[in-house]
A = this chain, B = another copy of it.
Amino acid sequence: VLRSSELLGHLDIERPTFLVDRERVARNIQRMVERAAAADVVLRPHFKTHRSHAIGRWFREFGIDGITVSSVEMARYFSDDGWDDITLAFPFPLQQLPRVAEISEHIRLGVMVHSTSSVDVIASLRAPGLRVWIKIDTGYKRVGLDWDDDETLEAVARRASDRGLEVVGVLTHNGLVYQERSREGVLRVHRESVERIRHARDVLMAAGLDDITVSIGDTPGTSAGGTLEGVNEIRPGNFVFYDLTQAALGSCSADEIAVAVACPVVAVYPHRGHTVIQGGAVHLSLDALETGDGERIYGRVNPEWPAGAGDGAPLIRLSQEHGIVRTGGHGAQNIEVGDIACVLPVHACLASNMHDRYLTLDGEWLDTMDVGDRGHCTTLRFRGSSDER
C-alpha cells in the first residue's frame, strides 16, 4: 500500500502537496547548531531551501540570527520578517543595485565581489553598511576568483583597499561535493576546498587585508563532519529538509529526510509494473539521481513516511503532471487508485520551490515567498510605469 494511513488520515490531501515534518526539521536544525558550536564556527544557514517566513522562525528558536539568501527578492522577503543580518550569496544583477543599496540601509547586508570590476561596482554604491565578501572558486568553476590565481587575488585586495571597501571575509561554495557518490569522496573534496580557500585567505591577507573571515557553504561537507580547520562560518541550506541526494552522499540517514511530496495515485497497471501518480515535473522538478545500477530516478515512494526507510519504489519517469512509479516488485497488489504516495524528493530545494505553500503534519499551512505580493511586487517593474508590480 502506498498510503501511509497514520500519517495522512487527519490531513485532507487532494492534490500533490509538499509535506513538512516539523519535528524532523527541528532535529535537523538542532544537530547542525550543535555541530557548529562544537567546531566553534558561526552557522549562517542558507534559506533558499525553504523560502518561508514560518520555517525561518523555527531557526530563530535555536538562536540563529544571521542567514544566507540567493536573490535580492529573498533578501527583501526575509528582511521583511525581521532578519537583519543577511548575506546575499549570489552575484546579483547590476539592474538591482538600487534595491541592494536600499536594503543595506535597513539591515546588515553582505554582498560578494568576484572581480576587480565588481569591486568598483560595489564601491560605487557608497553604502557604508554593506559587508563585502570576496567570492573564491575552489574548483567548482561557477562564480568566484580562482583560488590559485594569486596575482588576481592580490589585485582585488588592492582595488578593495584603494576604493575604501572593508572586506570582511572570503566565501566559497564547493559544489564539487555533489559530483561525489560516497561520504569518503565528499570528505576528500571538502578538505581540498577548505585548504584552497585558506590559501586564498592567506594571499589576500599578505596583500594587506585584515581579519579575513572564512565562510564555506554546502550541506554535504558540513553534514558529513568534514574538517572545519581555519573555517569561521558555515552556510549549509539543504540540511533543514535533506533528501535522497543527501542520503546518497552520506549527509543524512533516511529517517532525517523531513519532507515528502504527497501525490494521489491515479492509475495502476500491474501488467506493466507501473503505478501512475499525479506528481510530475511541476510538483517535484526534474532533478534526478543516478542509482547504483545507472538508472535515473526522480524520487522514491516511502509508504511509511515519516517513519520507514528511504528505499521504496522508485519514480522512473516524469511528465509535466504524471509520475510513473515502478511498483512491480513492491507489493503492487495492494496499491489502489485513490491512495496517496509519499515521494521522497531527489532535491528538496527544487521540489519545495514547486510549491507555494507547505503542509505540516499538524495540518498547518506554511506560506512561502511566492505567496502574496511581496515576491512579485518588489521585483518586477515596467519602465514608464509609476506603479511597482
Which residues on A are within 8 Å of B, measured CB to CB? Answer: 10-15, 17, 48, 70-73, 90-96, 99, 114-115, 117-118, 141-143, 175, 264, 266-267, 269, 272, 274, 276, 278, 281-282, 285-287, 317, 319-322, 324, 337-338, 349-350, 353, 356-357, 359, 363, 365, 370-371, 376, 379-384, 389
Contact = CB atoms under 8 A, between A and B. Distances in A.
A96 to B, nearest CB: 5
A353 to B, nearest CB: 5
A356 B383 contact: no
20 contacts: A10-B383, A12-B95, A12-B383, A14-B95, A14-B96, A14-B381, A15-B95, A48-B321, A70-B321, A91-B266, A92-B278, A94-B337, A95-B338, A114-B267, A141-B269, A142-B276, A143-B266, A143-B267, A143-B276, A363-B382
Contacts of A115: 267
Given A12-B95, A48-B321, A93-B264, 8 more contacts: A10-B384, A90-B321, A92-B266, A94-B338, A281-B353, A285-B286, A320-B349, A356-B370
Given A282-B353, A320-B350, A321-B90, A13 B95 contact: yes
Contact of A272 (B17, B141, B317, B383): B141
A122 B2 CA distance: 23
A381 B92 CA distance: 37
* 10 closest A-B pairs by CB: A93-B264, A14-B95, A12-B383, A94-B338, A286-B286, A91-B266, A363-B382, A70-B321, A143-B267, A12-B381
Given A117-B337, A282-B350, A383 B267 contact: no
A94 B14 CA distance: 8
A269 B370 CA distance: 32
B350 A365 contact: no
Contacts of A322: 90, 142-143
Given A12-B382, A143-B266, A278 B117 contact: no
B365 A389 contact: yes
A14 B94 CA distance: 8
B363 A384 contact: yes
Question: How many copies of this chain does one complex carry?
Answer: 2
Contacts of A337: 94, 117-118
B264 A11 contact: no
Contacts of A274: 141
Contacts of A286: 285-287, 350
Nearest to A277: B93
Contact of A93 (B92, B99, B266, B281): B266
Contacts of A353: 281-282, 320
A226 B151 CA distance: 61
Nearest to A349: B320
Given A95-B264, A356-B370, A383 B73 contact: no
A50 to B, nearest CB: 13
Contacts of A376: 356-357, 371
A276 B91 CA distance: 9
A111 B265 CA distance: 17
A142 B319 contact: yes
Among A287, A337, A379, chain B packs the most CB atoms within 10 A around the CB of A337
A259 B139 CA distance: 34
Contacts of A370: 356, 370
A379 B281 contact: no
